[in-house]
Structure 1
Amino acid sequence: MITQIEEVHYEAPPLWVCVLESAVITAVVPALGWLLHAEDPLFYDSQFSWLVVAPLLVGLRYGFFYGFASALATVAYMALAPRMGWAAQPLGLQYAIGLVLAGMVAGEFTDIWRRRFTQMKIINDYQSIRLTEFVRNYHVLRVSHDQLAERLAANPHNLRDALLALAERFHHSDAGEDLLKQRSQDLLGFLAVEGRLEQCALFAVDERRRIGRQPMDFLGGQPAQPNVADHPMVRACLEQGRMISLKSEMAEINLQQESHPLLAVIPLIDVNDRIWAIVTVTEMPFVEFERGNLHLLAVLGGNLGDILAEAYHRQPSDQQLARYQFEQRLRQWSQYGARYRLSSLLMAYEIPGRVRGISNEALCELVYEQLRALDYAWTTDLDQGTQIIYVLMPLTPERGASAYRERMSRLLNERFGVEVASSGLVFHQRHVNGSQSASALLTDIRRQAESHAGA
């Protein structure tokens, strides 16, 4: 029984299947008329016109275009039948119009509900990502407060501060460096301290969820793990996108017969289900190998994945790649706006070379701090030291621009003492509804910013 939206997997059939099935359904009804009702194959004298069934079924099955095409083919057959001697009565105009309308109405009904279904699926995916982000933050906060209650009041350490400190180190990494390779010891050290790990290794994972053969780094000595990519726990972790341990359902497999068994495999996975790396755990205290600590490790893996995703998005090593990725997302949400009427908002900050002695980096950092889960930003340079920060805000109506500008203006004033009206900082906004292409939106804002810089 279907209990969740995620369990419904609908995929439209290929084009050739749609055309073939529509043609077969359209031809079956006239053929049945010849076989079962030869004296009146067009059903003119029948109590019900059965020829309308084909356009109706095709329209309900595949939409307006196929229903309309099926109705036209049926009308053409009805117009040709008297000339070929297949029927005595000529084609009735009202009969033909009614048949075409039946196919059109049924097809339009199907298209409307398909568009609405796709719209609701996109909104549901967006809400699911926001919910996942909230759940992760909630668990970190709950565990942090539990630790504070258990430890001495004089101990200033807590999990939330440790995560913020780790994220701060990633944010201050130099652009262009391999963050995962440079910060691998920080990641393993954080998991070792918070999860009480004694021996573990970090393996990089590419976008196709393929793991590297050699570990990027290890802690507590290099684990003797030949061919770790073929280990059943690693394969299950990459396939399911969650932590796998000997206490999970993987315990049903006789893993104890492995020459080098793993205790747990932790994916560093962000809210968009992108696995950046996995951590294999081979040694940890027996008393810590319990459900609560394993759950904490899984939550920490998700938070570390979010930190990696944000760090890579903040400091792309290739500006052309960063522009391409941003345009791809903008193009995607522009198509959603045209097809499913899902409004999005494109905001742009035009930052002059200097704003009252505050560096552009500090202003950029403030903008990136305020990004939501699905928001995406890209920074580019203009002449004369001017920068533009583009911020794509999916599922945000046009009226949300004023509230966003007020909030950012207040933050600029509170943090830097900057009044937007007199600082030279300029806000640009565009409504992403599919009326303009992604390139046209970006070019329009850039030209407007260049005209300001030239003036």
Structure 2
Amino acid sequence: MLEQVANGKLTKWLAPSMRVGWSMVETVLLTAAAVGIGLWLRPEDPMTLDADFRWILLVPLVIAMRYGGLVGVWAMLCLIGCWYVLKTSGLYAQQSFPEGAMLGGLVFTLVAGEFSDLWRVRLMRADSAASYSLERLKNLTQRFVLLRLSHDRLEENLLTKPYTVRDALFRLRSLALEESSDTALPAGDDLLGILAEYCQLQRAALYPCRDGVIDDRPVAVLGENRPLEKDNSLLAYAMENQLLAHVQQEKEESYHGAYLVAAPISNSAGKIIGVLVVERMPFLSVNFENLQLLSVLLNFYADVVYAGKDTHLLLERWSALPFQMARELVALGRLREEGKVETSLTLFVADDSEQAGLILDALARGLRSLDLAWWVSDRTLLIMMPMTGVSGLEGYVLRTEQWLQDEFAFMSLRQAGVRFFYRHMDTRSTEVQLAELLEAGGV
């Protein structure tokens, strides 16, 4: 019994949901059943109108508490109809209509019906609130489970890849790379050391490539490697498609080559300047994230080391553009085309006030680790922000405005006399995007 009360089965039976048709039929049947029992027990007074307590009035009272006041009134009408039927049959022929009993029964029925309707509404509200709370609890539980799984996956990833793309690009930029293309793969040893540290390479080699032909002599070697396998099918696939290839992409089941990964080193112009072959690396490191990081670093290295045609076009159009920024703009534009790295360009234009000039100087001094600045003019500053998407740029602007409030008591850049323009680099030409941003700032 208690179990039925707890799970709501008894409540649903005592106070079912309102169904008008069935409730009216049930009222007629209960009233007829009560009168029939009265005929069996008290044939001379089946409706107990002459008894000390009029038991027949319990029928509309129960109906009102079960279905509400409206159905309770229908029960009283059915009871009055039964009285007229009995009077017609001769049982109450000498008795007048019991107005007091029927009026009192109607009042009791209305009171019980109002009580039923009131608590029915309260129960519905409580049930709705409980259902909403249960739904929120389920959502929070699912989010907690997903967060826990994400945390566990993050711990697993940190065991195999404890570095971020931002750290790797910063380390790669900090290398003292030669700007000319006279040396084949300059700073190759340093590059291979960074790849070994960030991508967990154990045995690998860097080979220069001239006019599509791979040189047999490596410029940098990590560990003890075999001589170059020019007939290796994995290497041939990577060179033909100019894409990083690994053993899981190999179509031939009979592949028994020495290389696990083969990655061409190509600049933004599509020229292959070298190739990286990997003979050994941890099994857990052969995953999409790690191989994508490897490809990003190689592409960035190629564009930073070798200033291609796009870089020279930028320098010819804007001679004051720093050479390092021009190289990296082209490199980051290529990475954006491949959907790997997001980059934002911000332009600050100050008015003639001294305060605005001081703010621009402070912004130029407060660059982040990967950011580069270009003073387009004395009152115009362009900042290149690699690894910065929409949310990252919004955070930068909010921090800048908070800094303005704390240091200069300005609520925004515009109030401080500094106009702000930005562009998120897309797949279009870097020159076109840079020209649009400078034109928007009136430069």
TM-score class, shorter-chain normalisation, is 0.3 to 0.5
TM-score, normalising length from structure 1?
Answer: 0.38
> Which is greater in Rg?
2
TM-score, normalising length from structure 2?
Answer: 0.39
